[in-house]
């Protein structure tokens, strides 16, 4: 998908009062005017480095890099940190949630699984901290199985955890 198409979709979403989420994978340098159309920018550490031009090795680094994106107009930056959990940064707040400790078998698709779950719980009206915790749990479930979509849990799977 071309960047112009993504920007148009984000603009339409905002015009219709929707919450917009931008998955930055695969990360490319984005024009700063893109961020004004995004409620939640979601990036992993590597993607955040590309977007911010800043090294991201720690939670503190991720916070500083996220604040750079907020300075460009992003409302919130959600950073997936793999086995370290996730971080949400806004202009005046930072929320960090530790990952669910599991023995990972295949991490392919974990970020997509996390973001899909986060968006689902956010759309369901859950507070953002709860969305982060639940998304961490869903991603933790997925990395304990082989594959991408085939490893994603169903709602029934998560009800038993």
Q: Cα dihedral angle (81, 75, 35, 44), rounded to 10 degrees?
A: 0
- Which of the 8 DSSP states describes residue 144? T
Residues carrying an active site annotation:
112
Q: How remote is the C-alpha of 89 from its chain's centroid?
A: 11
Question: Helices (DSSP H) in the chain: which residue ranges?
Answer: 3-15, 45-52, 59-71, 110-123, 128-142, 155-159
At which residue do the structure tokens 């890099």 appear? Answer: 65
67 upstream amide cis, omega within 30 of 0: no
- Which of the 8 DSSP states describes residue 16? T
């Amino acid at each position: 998908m071309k960047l112009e198409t993504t920007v148009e979709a984000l603009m339409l979403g905002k015009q219709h009062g929707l919450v917009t989420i931008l998955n930055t994978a695969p990360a490319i340098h984005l024009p700063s005017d893109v961020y004004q159309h995004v409620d939640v920018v979601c990036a992993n550490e590597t993607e955040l480095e590309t977007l911010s031009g800043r090294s991201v090795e720690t939670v503190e680094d991720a916070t500083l890099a996220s604040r750079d994106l907020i300075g460009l107009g992003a409302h919130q930056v959600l950073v997936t940190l793999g086995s370290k959990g996730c971080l949400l940064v806004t202009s005046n707040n930072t929320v960090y949630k530790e990952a669910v400790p599991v023995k990972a078998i295949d991490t392919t698709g974990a970020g997509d699984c996390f973001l899909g779950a986060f968006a689902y719980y956010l759309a369901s009206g859950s507070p953002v901290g709860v969305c982060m915790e639940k998304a961490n749990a869903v991603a933790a479930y997925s990395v304990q199985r082989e594959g991408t979509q085939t490893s994603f849990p169903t709602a029934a799977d998560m009800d038993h955890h």
